[in-house]
Amino acid sequence: MSDFEGLDLQAVEDRIDEEDGACNRIVLGVLDGSTPPEEWLEEVASGATLVLNVEGDLNELAAGFARDVRDEGGELMHFRGFLIATPPGVEIDSDRLGD
């Protein structure tokens, strides 16, 4: 079973409202240290939502951009092996996950 089979990206894309000026891009990638942290930060700063498959230690791999995303008003969530990073104004709703 692929890691992406349980991820409903169409539902995520449908929730993004272009009328609010929000970016309508979701960037899929692999967080393995091969992409400079500045590139991930630039994507979020441009309004894109990141969905990154984590391959390694999340704390080490996200250290170069996670704090900046939060400081700028974005959100981060680790979910089922993925790091989701949103720009300011895009909320990650985890209410349906339960406790």
- Predicted local confidence at residue 6, as pLDDT: 56
- Predicted local confidence at residue 24, as pLDDT: 80
CATH of the domain at 80: 3.30.110.150
pLDDT at residue 91 greater than cutoff 80? yes
In a domain, 68, yes or no: yes
Please, are residues 64 and 39 in contact by the beta-carbon 8 Å criterion? no
Range of the domain at 35: 9-14+22-88
Residues 42-80 have pLDDT tens digits of 999 999 999 999 999 999 999 999 999 999 999 999 999
- Predicted local confidence at residue 11, as pLDDT: 61
pLDDT at residue 38 greater than cutoff 70? yes
CA distance 86 to 99: 22
Closest-CA residue to 85 (of 48, 54, 57)? 48
Mean pLDDT of 10-37: 76
pTM: 0.76
In a domain, 2, yes or no: no
What phi and psi values does residue 92 have, to the nearest 5 degrees?
-95, 110
In a domain, 4, yes or no: no
